[in-house]
Amino acid sequence: MVRHLRRRSHMLLGAVVVLSATTLFSLLTFQRVNTLILPDGYDVRVELAETSEARARGLSGRSSLGANEGMLFLFPDRDRHGIWMKDMRFAIDIVWLDGETVVHVVENAPPNDSPARPVYRPLTPANRVLELPAGSAEVHDISQGKQIKKRF
């Protein structure tokens, strides 16, 4: 009987460890989500890429973005942050923001798996980069000087 209880307690402890590890992993890899308001008033849900690891991974490996989805890269400093299309499977629009103001837009940046990947950079320093499905800049009136605000 004692042996049976001991084995059962070991199994229970093992299950707790596995569940705890799984929960911790999901918390560490979870991307926070915010809603932004584009210049035409359209809401888009964006995943935040706040760490250097999340910014390096970006949208790589995904098959698509929904029409109301995007990724917002948050940088700790204003600079001419470069974006490349490593392991991308679809075209995107890339929007550089200084605060809430659009400072540069690259429309329809194609996926590129060649060794000589272009790096897209703004002409002006920025502290945020918004990636949206290709065509979004034209459809939602996103251009230099326009505002993109966070919905609270």
Give tens-digit pLDDT for 19-67: 333 333 333 334 577 999 999 999 999 999 999 999 988 898 888 999 9
Q: Are residues 80 and 23 in the same domain?
A: no
Give the SS3 label for residue 16: helix
Q: Which residues contact 134 (CB under 8 A, 6 or more apart)?
A: 90, 91, 92, 93, 107, 108, 109
106 CB contacts (<8 Å, ≥6 apart)? Answer: 83, 93, 94, 120
In contact, 104 and 96? CB cutoff 8 Å: yes
Same domain for 70 and 9, yes or no, is no
Mean pLDDT, the chain, as a whole number?
82
Asked if residue 37 and residue 17 are part of one domain, the reply reads no
The pLDDT-based confidence of 84 (bands split at 50, 70, 90) is: confident
| Residue 13: predicted pLDDT | 43
Whole-angstrom distance, CA of residue 109 vs CA of residue 134: 7
Give the CA radius of gyration of the chain. 21
Q: Is the pTM of this model over 0.85?
A: no
Residue 149: beta bridge partners? 37
Domain span holding position 47: 32-150
CATH of residue 80: 2.60.120.1140
Q: How far apart are CA 33 and CA 17, in angstroms?
A: 28
Give the Å distances, CA to CA, from 131 to 2, 10, 16: 60, 48, 39
